[in-house]
Amino acid sequence: MKIDILTLFPEMFSLFNESIIGRAKEKGLFEINPVNIREYSKDKHRKVDDYPYGGGSGLVMGVQPIRDALKEIKKANGGPVIFLGPKGKTFDQNTARRLAKEDQLIFLCGHYEGIDERLYEDIDEEISLGDFILTGGEMAAIPIIDSILRLREGVLGRDESSVEESFSENLLEYPQYTRPEVYEGQRVPDILLSGHHENIRQWRRYQMLMITKERRPDLYAKHQLSKDDLKIMKKFTKDQEK
């Protein structure tokens, strides 16, 4: 996968040189190319913003440097142009899965009061990280790109580890435990020590359902309960009533 990122702060994306993602990058599983928008400015001071027509507070990122940067990038990257902005659809796991299928992507990180409206002609999709304000699009681009990359084959090392995770079915993940078996009086649930794989699977599924119902009812409402889910919920509800 090839990802180009139009940004005013290219050094921020050195984060992708670290940890699991960094090792995948070293293997050549993806390429990230931060592009400094200022390098395309025709202003002698490399200015990329200006005051808005009609008045108002703040500054607006101009057409010229961004459009020229996009023209150059598109010579080698034919992927969709994604703008990180507040008017876009909120990013979620389904969007991550969809974008992970692309071989090329271009991200545009906004700043100040946004971008000149004429630039929307160059943008294929606008994505928001959520209903809150960030200092720049880079802050949104980093977690979004990370969530996309980890779905690419080989990036996590074990492909199955990206499947049974939070949000994969609009469900949160089940509780996890490791050694020691007892610490300061707190014990690992007996069922996880039983060695009975089917009972463990059912317990974990029940935990996913109940945790999501309690903590994220909005997600739980989207989840389609299967016959297996209903059977598991009935079983563990009866066990708790005994």
Cross-strand partners of 182: 187
Q: Where are the domains of the chain?
A: 2-151, 164-241
Q: What integer pLDDT is reported at residue 160 of this predicted model? A: 45
Please tell me whether 154 is known to bind a ligand: no
- Amino acid, single-letter form, for residue 91: F
Q: What integer pLDDT is reported at residue 145 of this predicted model? A: 98
* CA 214, chain centre distance (Å): 23
Please tell me whether 28 is known to bind a ligand: no
Please tell me whether 85 is known to bind a ligand: no
pLDDT, average across residues 208-218: 96
What are the tens digits of pLDDT across the range 38-73? 999 999 999 999 999 999 989 999 999 999 999 999
Domain 2-151 has CATH 3.90.1170.50: no
Q: How far is CA 84 from CA 57, 96, 104, 131, 219, in A?
A: 21, 14, 17, 13, 24
Q: What percent of the chain has pLDDT over 90?
A: 89
Mean pLDDT for the chain overall: 94
Please tell me whether 130 is known to bind a ligand: yes
Please tell me whether 110 is known to bind a ligand: yes
The pTM of the full predicted model, rounded to 2 decimals, is 0.88
What are the tens digits of pLDDT across the range 83-141? 999 999 999 999 999 999 999 999 999 998 899 999 999 999 999 999 999 999 999 99
* CA 189, chain centre distance (Å): 32
Confidence of residue 173 (pLDDT cuts 50, 70, 90): very high
Return d(Cα 35, Cα 8) in angstroms, integer.
8
Q: Domain 164-241 belongs to what topology? A: Trp Operon Repressor; Chain A (1.10.1270)
